[in-house]
Amino acid sequence: MSKHAWIEPGAFEVAPGVHRIPLPLPMDGLRAVNVYAVEDGDGLVLIDSGWALDEARKQLEKALDDIGFGLEQVHRFLVTHLHRDHYTMAVVLRKLFGAKVSLGIGEQPTLNAILNGEGERHLADLVRWGAADLADELRGAYRGQDAAESLRLYDQPDEWLEGTTDIALHERVLRAVPTPGHTNGHVVYVDAAEQLMFAGDHVLPHITPSIGFETARAELPLGDYLDSLRLVRSFPDMRLLPAHGPVAPSVHHRVDELLQHHEDRLGATLAAVQGGEHTAREVAEKLGWTSRQRAYKDLNLFDRILAVGETNAHLDVLVVRGELASSLVDGVLQYEVVRPAAAGR
Ligand SMILES: [Zn+2]
């Protein structure tokens, strides 16, 4: 089976009463987002909703029709996080059909910033990471966009999920578990009886999720992410139902790979600073990107922004671990190796 077979449109029953529905995305990097339709009483609960695009909505309607449901029978959206490929279709469909939308409370600061028209606040982060050129390029790209159109896609949820919360549906209980890291308010939904984890972007089978790509970024997003990986590793093993990629048999197996990946990246990041690089941007230029180890300069704008943010997240964890020290020089964060004092002198 081809690596991308999972993006084929349709509704695929992956567990009794649980259907995986891949929906299209406008940028081809991620290819598609999985929405999971869970049969519940006489209707459906959707985990994640897709990006509010006409084509995605048509595919969702068709897939639901294939399993005998209409959009109006979706009575609830349980969303894993605020990114538009997960949240925005829920907002649009709620206006038409009145479904209830739930989201983790850690997304509140970023959502409020977007609704207050401060979505560009993260440009300041790029400057601190030594990538003012990316901030300028991005500002140029935003200029072409209709801000009102972008705002139309966002609104408050009906319910903020706070802490670990058991959500009783008609025929099953889903436990919402906060897993900050990919975003500050990311949650996964666990069906313990069926041994399923609806993992959103927290654990993905083929790629590593971006870390802290959001307007109101956490202090230490990679530290949060590693803690959240260890948290789900402490649960009994379950099947992995990810938002991007095919269903996989073991959450534990993939979490172990992701933890190892980040230890390797932390090692490479430290080596780059030891080699004389000082800013997140300089270090990003020394590292390979994506599974194909592409050079930073060959990445598109969006991926360069993710790369620099990702590098900053790793540098900051090395600071917390005592390997590096950081200081702000002319508005740019500079990282230095902390040399252990020589013994006996
Ligand atoms: Zn996503």
Q: How far apart are the CA of 265 and the centre of ligand 1, in A?
A: 22
C-alpha to C-alpha distance for 233 and 253, rounded to whole angstroms: 9
Q: How far apart are the CA of 182 and the centre of ligand 1, in A?
A: 9
Q: How far apart are the CA of 81 and the centre of ligand 1, in A?
A: 8
In this structure, the number of other CB atoms found within 10 A of the CB of residue 136 comes to 13
Assigned CATH topology for domain 5-254: Metallo-beta-lactamase; Chain A (3.60.15)
Q: How far apart are the CA of 122 and the centre of ligand 1, in A?
A: 19
Query: Given this model, what pLDDT does residue 31 score?
Result: 86
Query: Given this model, what pLDDT does residue 106 score?
Result: 98
Most confident range (mean pLDDT) of 2-11, 93-102, 108-117 is 93-102
Query: Given this model, what pLDDT does residue 151 score?
Result: 74
pLDDT over threshold 60, residue 33: yes
Q: How far apart are the CA of 240 and the centre of ligand 1, in A?
A: 15
pLDDT tens figures, 200-231: 999 999 999 999 888 889 999 999 999 999 99
Query: Given this model, what pLDDT does residue 345 score?
Result: 43
pLDDT over threshold 70, residue 148: no
Q: How far apart are the CA of 83 and the centre of ligand 1, in A?
A: 6
Instruction: Give 255-259 contacts, CB < 8 A, sequence gap 24+.
Output: 255/203, 255/229, 258/203, 258/208, 258/229, 259/226, 259/229, 259/230, 259/233
Query: Given this model, what pLDDT does residue 320 score?
Result: 97
Global pTM? Answer: 0.94
pLDDT over threshold 80, residue 340: no
Query: Given this model, what pLDDT does residue 70 score?
Result: 97
Phi, psi of 315 (to 5 degrees): -60, -45
pLDDT over threshold 90, residue 338: yes
C-alpha to C-alpha distance for 196 and 15, rounded to whole angstroms: 9
Question: 18 - beta bridge partners?
Answer: 15, 38
Give me the residue spans of the domains in the chain: 5-254, 259-332
Query: Given this model, what pLDDT does residue 2 score?
Result: 76
Q: Residue 139 — pLDDT band, cuts 50, 70, 90?
A: confident
The answer to whether 286 and 272 are in contact (CB under 8 A) is yes
- What average pLDDT is seen over the chain? 93
Q: How far apart are the CA of 244 and the centre of ligand 1, in A?
A: 7
Q: How far apart are the CA of 33 and the centre of ligand 1, in A?
A: 6
Query: Given this model, what pLDDT does residue 245 score?
Result: 96
Burial class for 55, CB neighbours closer than 10 Å (0-12, 13-18, 19+): middle
Q: How far apart are the CA of 210 and the centre of ligand 1, in A?
A: 9
Question: 34 - beta bridge partners?
Answer: 22
Q: How far apart are the CA of 87 and the centre of ligand 1, in A?
A: 10
Q: Which of 226-235, 248-257, 301-310 shows the lowest per-residue confidence on average (mean pLDDT)? A: 301-310
Q: How far apart are the CA of 230 and the centre of ligand 1, in A?
A: 21
% the chain with pLDDT above 70: 95
- Helices 132-143 and 301-320 sit at what angle, rounded to 10 degrees? 140
Q: Which of 115-129, 183-197, 271-285 shows the lowest per-residue confidence on average (mean pLDDT)? A: 115-129
Q: How far apart are the CA of 48 and the centre of ligand 1, in A?
A: 9
Q: How far apart are the CA of 344 and the centre of ligand 1, in A?
A: 52
Query: Given this model, what pLDDT does residue 292 score?
Result: 87
pLDDT tens figures, 151-201: 778 999 999 999 999 999 999 999 999 999 999 999 999 999 999 999 999
Q: How far apart are the CA of 341 and the centre of ligand 1, in A?
A: 44
CA 316-209-157 angle, to 5 degrees, is 100
Of residues 105 and 302, more confidence is placed in 105
Q: Residue 344 — pLDDT band, cuts 50, 70, 90?
A: very low
What length does the chain have? 345
Which two structure tokens, joined as six digits, stand for 300? Answer: 């598109």
Query: Given this model, what pLDDT does residue 27 score?
Result: 72
Q: How far apart are the CA of 235 and the centre of ligand 1, in A?
A: 23
% the chain with pLDDT above 90: 83
